[in-house]
Homo-oligomer: A and B are copies of this chain.
């Protein structure tokens, strides 16, 4: 059961706000007539239309979406719940989604769950309370079943993305995580590395599990038995610190496959601080291809996923779902590309 928000905004000066009533009076017609003109039903004469439009414009009339939505059972508001807004990959993705959906007349609100299930629950309740008509969702790690019950009761169209925890139940737009890290790992193996670690991420999010699987699969396929997963939170400073401790505790490791470009760049920075040269003494493969990946020194070898395009694709999948509510759920996996730049090379033993 949901309690109300603690604080409310008392709307000021309600008297000033124009309504259909106000416009109808000024135009000298009835309320339904104004409503029809504004919605463009085409059942009103040109002369009356002009009168109404003029009045509405003069009064700066804007439809009250709450009333309209309540009566018509339709809405143009879409909610999005993501685990971390400020990450540059996600921020670009959000831009792609918003631009596409706004162009179609929708309004997107974004909430940051911080990958926390209680916060996610509150976010979903907030969206239901505010009558969002659809949801774009990155499910938080260990989402409880109660959350699904809530979503199911209120029955809104949902597209999950990035994390494929509910493929088949909802539409999904994702990344070929397993294939991508396999590809990255094989790239390092072909260069001659045998002590390769998986670097970055924390805990068992869907995405990370898949990526680690891809990494391990590539190791197995090439008969390598050394395997190591090293945690690091998803920011540059954490990547830097984790790399320093990795070098100290596991000097045998000569290459890492990273959970994201941000930690990869942090790791790269750590190497330079240790007087090493990324790509020479040690190889690094990133993930995401954020803008900084190509402009960093040295430029980062990474898995490229274009976040803005991902956002566009995600928006399109949602639009499709809304147009065809009855169609079966589908999963869309976007392609990736391994961009080989300067942070990967043959291991130093073979090199010297």
Are B153 and A59 within 8 A (Cβ)?
Answer: yes
CA gap between A14 and B62 in the complex, in Å: 26
For residue A113, give the distance in angstroms from its CB to the closest CB of chain B. Answer: 11
Q: What 1/0 mask marks residues of chain A from 90 to 108 whose CB sits below 8 Å from any chain B CB?
A: 0110110011001011111
- Cβ of A174 within 8 Å of any chain B Cβ, yes or no, is no
Are B130 and A65 within 8 A (Cβ)?
Answer: yes
Which one, B6, B102, B240, contacts A104 given CB within 8 A? B6
Across-interface contacts of A291 in B (CB, < 8 A): 235-237
For residue A18, give the distance in angstroms from its CB to the closest CB of chain B. Answer: 7
Which one, B4, B62, B111, B150, contacts A2 given CB within 8 A? B62
Question: Which chain A residues (129-184) contact chain B, with CB distance < 8 Å?
Answer: 129-131, 133-134, 149-150, 153-157
- Cβ of A249 within 8 Å of any chain B Cβ, yes or no, is no
- Cβ of A39 within 8 Å of any chain B Cβ, yes or no, is yes
Across-interface contacts of A17 in B (CB, < 8 A): 153-155
CA gap between A48 and B6 in the complex, in Å: 23
- Cβ of A110 within 8 Å of any chain B Cβ, yes or no, is yes
Stretch from A74-82, A212-220, A252-260 forming part of the interface with B: A74-82
CA gap between A130 and B156 in the complex, in Å: 19
Are B8 and A76 within 8 A (Cβ)?
Answer: yes
Across-interface contacts of A319 in B (CB, < 8 A): 7
CA gap between A69 and B130 in the complex, in Å: 10
CA gap between A126 and B76 in the complex, in Å: 10
* 9 closest cross-chain pairs (CB), A and B: A5-B105, A9-B133, A6-B105, A109-B109, A8-B74, A1-B56, A66-B66, A86-B91, A5-B76
Chain A interface residues (CB < 8 Å from chain B): 1-14, 16-18, 38-40, 53, 56-57, 59-70, 72-78, 85-86, 88, 91-92, 94-95, 98-99, 102, 104-112, 122, 125-126, 128-131, 133-134, 149-150, 153-157, 235-237, 240, 265-266, 269, 272, 291-292, 295, 297, 319, 322, 325
